[in-house]
Amino acid sequence: MSRQSSSLTPVGAAAGLFLISVLAVSCACLSVLGVKLSNAPVVPWEQLIPLGVYAAGVPFVLVWLKLIGWRGDAGVVGAVFLLCGMGLVVQFRMGSFAQGLAAPLALVPLPLGLAAFAFGASLTSKGRGAWLTGAGWLAYLAALAALAALLVLGRRYRGGMYTAGNMNPSEVVKPLLVFFLAVYLSRRQKAFSETQAGMPVPPFGTLLGLVFLWGGPMLLTIALKDLGLMVLLNAILIVMLFAIARSTGYLAIGLAAVAAAGFGVRFISAHAQARFDVWLDPFADPTGKGWQILQALSAMYSGGLWGAGLGAGVPQTVPIVTSDFVYAALAEEIGLVGCGLLLMVYAALFSRGFRAAGAARTPFERLLCVGLTGSLAVQTLLNVAGVTKALPLTGITLPLISHGGSSLVTTLFMAGLIAGLSDRK
């Protein structure tokens, strides 16, 4: 007598994780809504539109994954949607949706990001990403064009560069350069894997070619005086070189080079110099340059172990709290325990992303998955470390949580690519 065992499909598992996410997001949203109603008799219903888009849009993404036959890692999808939902709750609590229908463009990033996630998963699932290897140079040129356009057309605001509508084209540079590196390095795997006494020794011509090509976007980044993007891109390069050669020498040399470059930028950028000075001694100018980080540290300290409760804190005392310093607001209201749980969700996403890379079919797919996952992991590390004063501030946002349309769309697209790469069946 044969017995058939039925297992839950990946899409079904992702749907179950989404329902759990909806429950968690709904509880958090009700907590914030209760506090808002206690302070004001009426909360405009327009502020709830993004949360409604989330609840209605994610099922459409799951249906799409079912239609394309996706059978990847449900944990990646579940973690992404949970973080995205919690980000919406935080922005709702901060009043980022207060304008509602009066600012319809503010409602566009979420549905556009969900569409980008579905598109990314469609590109790379079931080995479909193999044909993309012919577009590596196109991605490189597109990244240079985006940085050049930002340099020529952008305007500086709060230390960053933005184009019309406060758009930041540099966000798209991250996946473009990761894609280019995945193509370039996978075709030169043997050369970059050569080591002597544990130290990498690729052929001089091969190394010189990479340095020359990588110098283009780095020079543009330096011209933009974007310390955070420069550090992030070089960290991605180090991670991908380590993935292809499995040599800790790349990590040692790369980390030393990134640290040296980071300290070097302070001498050509007054903004970078100010950030280093604040990192070393924020009390030197407590009501000026050090005000932001000191307010963030005070907010995290007041949150303690359990936090004041969602909606019960005063995060508005921290400048730019909805973007760079959203982690400080979370620490104040959900405490050390809540932030620890949040970081565990991030850790689960990154670990599953690296696991998908380890099981990839080709060197290109492995490097692409490593680069995308590493980019999100380093971005999270830089943001949290900057807010907690473990590292100098870089202006890097917290993925899926911080307010920012271009950042949300780009992050969801990168997450979709990772979800697609996890489909090996």
Between CA 166 and CA 103 the distance in angstroms is 14
Helix (H, G, I), strand (E, B) or coil at 424: coil
Is 76 a domain residue? yes
Residue 421 has pLDDT above 60, yes or no: yes
Residue 417 is assigned to a structural domain of this protein = yes
Q: Answer whether 178's CB lies under 8 Å from 241's CB.
A: no
Q: Phi and psi at residue 56, in whole multiples of 5°? A: -90, -30
Query: Is pLDDT above 80 for 5?
Result: no
Q: What is the chain's mean pLDDT, rounded?
A: 84
Residue 5 lies in a domain: no
3-state secondary structure of 97: coil
Q: Is residue 48 part of a domain?
A: yes
Q: Which residue, chain included where needed, has tokens 């680069």?
A: 371
More confident residue, 311 or 348: 348
| 1 pLDDT more than 60 | no
Q: What are phi and psi of 163, to 5 degrees?
A: -100, -170
Main-chain dihedrals φ then ψ at residue 396, nearest 5 degrees: -80, 135
Distance of CA 355 to the CA centre of its chain: 18
Please determine, for residue 191, whether its predicted confidence score (pLDDT) is greater than 60.
yes
For position 34, what pLDDT does the model report? 77
Whole-model pTM: value is 0.91
Is the confidence at residue 181, as pLDDT, over 70? yes
Q: Is the dihedral of CA 332, 337, 342, 344 positive or negative?
A: positive
Q: Which two tokens stand for residue 425?
A: 């069946």
Residue 4 lies in a domain: no
- Other C-beta atoms within 10 Å of 264: how many? 12
Is the confidence at residue 202, as pLDDT, over 80? yes
- pLDDT, tens digit (0-9, with 9 covering 90-100), for 261-280: 767 776 767 777 888 888 88
| Res. 173: pLDDT tops 50 | yes
Q: Given this model, what pLDDT does residue 61 score?
A: 93
pLDDT at 362 over 80: yes
At residue 320, the pLDDT reads 77
Residue 3 lies in a domain: no
Q: Is the pLDDT reported for residue 414 higher than 90?
A: yes
Report yes or no: 375 and 346 within 8 Å, Cβ to Cβ. Answer: no
* Distance separating alpha carbons of residues 19 and 13, to the nearest angstrom: 10
Report the C-alpha dihedral over residues 132, 134, 137, 140, rounded to 10 degrees.
0
Q: Domains in the chain: how many in total?
A: 1
Please give the share of the chain, as a percent, with pLDDT higher than 70: 88
- On the question of pLDDT at 296 being above 70, the answer is yes
pLDDT at 102: 44
Mean pLDDT of 369-392: 93
Least confident of 163-172, 188-197, 358-367, 401-410: 163-172
| 74 CB-contact burial (10 Å; exposed 0-12 / middle 13-18 / buried 19+) | buried
| Cβ atoms < 10 Å from Cβ of 246 | 10
- Alpha helices of 187-268 — where are they, by DSSP H? 189-192, 204-224, 227-245, 248-265
Expressed as residue numbers, the domain containing 230 is 10-421
Residue 161's pLDDT is 64
Could you tell me if residue 130 is inside a domain? yes
Sign of the alpha-carbon dihedral angle for 229, 232, 238, 239: negative
Report residue 37 as tokens: 């109603």
Cα-based torsion angle of the residue sequence 20, 311, 322, 406 in order, rounded to the nearest 10 degrees: 30
Mean pLDDT to the nearest integer, 5-31: 79
Q: Count CA within 13 A, CB hemisphere, residue 242.
A: 18
The verdict on residue 169 lying in a domain is: yes
> Reduced to 3 states, what is the DSSP secondary structure of residue 343?
helix
Kind plus residue range of the DSSP H or E element containing 161: strand 160-162
Q: What is the DSSP letter of 199?
A: E
- Reference 302, options 339, 337, 336; nearest CA is 336
Sorting pLDDT into bands at 50, 70 and 90, what band is 353? very high
pLDDT at 286: 82
Q: Residue 383: is its pLDDT beyond 90?
A: yes
Give the model's confidence band at 423: pLDDT under 50 very low, under 70 low, under 90 confident, else very high: confident
Write the burial class of residue 205 (CB in 10 Å: 0-12 exposed, 13-18 middle, 19+ buried): exposed
Q: What is the mean pLDDT of residues 311-339?
A: 86
pLDDT of residue 268: 67
Residue 279, Cβ neighbours under 10 Å: how many? Answer: 16
More confident residue, 52 or 117: 117
* Residue 148 vs residue 249, higher pLDDT: 148
Q: How far is CA 193 from CA 266, 341, 363, 372, in A?
A: 33, 38, 13, 21
Across the range 384-398, mean pLDDT stands at 89
pLDDT score at 121? 93
Task: Answer whether residue 165 shows pLDDT above 60.
Answer: no
Packed helices 74-94 and 326-358: angle between N→C axes, nearest 10 degrees: 170
| Interval 119-162: pLDDT, tens | 999 999 887 777 788 889 999 999 999 999 888 876 766 556 66
Give the highest mean pLDDT range of 44-53, 85-94, 295-304, 371-380.
Answer: 371-380
Cβ atoms 50, 91 nearer than 8 A: yes
Gap between the Cα atoms of 338 and 300, Å rounded: 12
Query: How do residues 25-83 score in pLDDT, each as one tens digit?
Result: 888 887 777 777 777 666 666 677 778 888 888 999 999 999 998 998 999 999 999 99
C-beta atoms surrounding 103 within 10 Å: 12
Maximum Cα–Cα distance across the chain? 79
Q: Give helix 170-186 / helix 204-224 axis angle, nearest 10°.
A: 180
